[in-house]
Chain A
Amino acid sequence: DSGVTQTPKHLITATGQRVTLRCSPRSGDLSVYWYQQSLDQGLQFLIQYYNGEERAKGNILERFSAQQFPDLHSELNLSSLELGDSALYFCASSVGDGTTGFFGPGTRLTVL
């Protein structure tokens, strides 16, 4: 158990819908990172928040957005979903504004 929690574990929805994925970092960690793992793109970095502020952006689509709340949990919002958004979405956390280490169990999103 990495100490990073993610909910829900599984999510099934339809094209055009909007979903929210939630992540709680390990106790004491200020940074949260979001990653997408799909069959064709592999593991890709989406976005990082540090203590409530956006710190780094990767290959995140404009239809996706994230935020980190004062209690440091983070949410990833995916809208106007397409079939290609079906993937495993991971959250990771770290103490500082440095590197990721520990990942949550992931949320498996299926868009039908």
Chain B
Amino acid sequence: AQKVTQAQTEISVVEKEDVTLDCVYETRDTTYYLFWYKQPPSGELVFLIRRNSFDEQNEISGRYSWNFQKSTSSFNFTITASQVVDSAVYFCALSVLNDMRFGAGTRLTVKP
């Protein structure tokens, strides 16, 4: 069975600090997709990134970067120079054959 663990329930940082959100996943399948979503207070789920299991290249998009390591079954998300607008709940998700499982989410609060 698939499982996603986001051990950090809540994180609070001060603006301009870097912050890393951890995600550990479990699956026996060799083909899968990993996702990160942002859920701001307004409630919508904003797609951030999708990674397939065969692509371990790390990715950087502006202040966001993702570190995918199959050896440790982790897909961590780093926000560099955090801003107040980054305050949200962030979800990591794992998808295997259309069965998508979400982690419990990490609530990030960025204080000015």
Instruction: Please list the residues of chain A having a beta carbon within 8 angstroms of any beta carbon in chain B.
Output: 2, 33, 35, 42-45, 48, 55-56, 58, 88, 90, 92, 97-106, 108
Q: Does B29 contact A (CB under 8 A)?
A: no
Min CB distance A66 to B, Å, is 14
Complex CA gap A58/B99 in Å reads 7
Q: Does B91 contact A (CB under 8 A)?
A: yes
Complex CA gap A43/B33 in Å reads 17
Chain A residue at minimal CB-CB distance from B42: A105
Q: Does B111 contact A (CB under 8 A)?
A: no
Chain A residue at minimal CB-CB distance from B100: A45
Are A97 and B45 in touch, CB under 8 angstroms?
no
Are B44 and A99 in touch, CB under 8 angstroms?
no
Q: Does B97 contact A (CB under 8 A)?
A: yes
Q: Which of A2, A99, A104, A106 contacts B98 (CB 8 A)?
A: A99
**A45-B101 contact in complex given A99-B95, A100-B95, A103-B37, C-beta closer than 8 Å:** yes
6 additional A-B pairs beyond A43-B102, A98-B33, A103-B44, beta carbons within 8 Å, are: A33-B98, A33-B100, A44-B102, A99-B100, A101-B47, A101-B50
Q: Does B41 contact A (CB under 8 A)?
A: no
Complex CA gap A106/B39 in Å reads 11
What are the residues of chain B within 8 A of A56 when measuring CB–CB? 97-99
Q: Does B13 contact A (CB under 8 A)?
A: no
Complex CA gap A100/B100 in Å reads 8
Q: Does B64 contact A (CB under 8 A)?
A: no
**A108-B43 contact in complex given A42-B102, A101-B35, C-beta closer than 8 Å:** yes
What are the residues of chain A within 8 A of B99 when measuring CB–CB? 45, 56, 58
Chain B residue at minimal CB-CB distance from A103: B45
Q: Does B104 contact A (CB under 8 A)?
A: yes
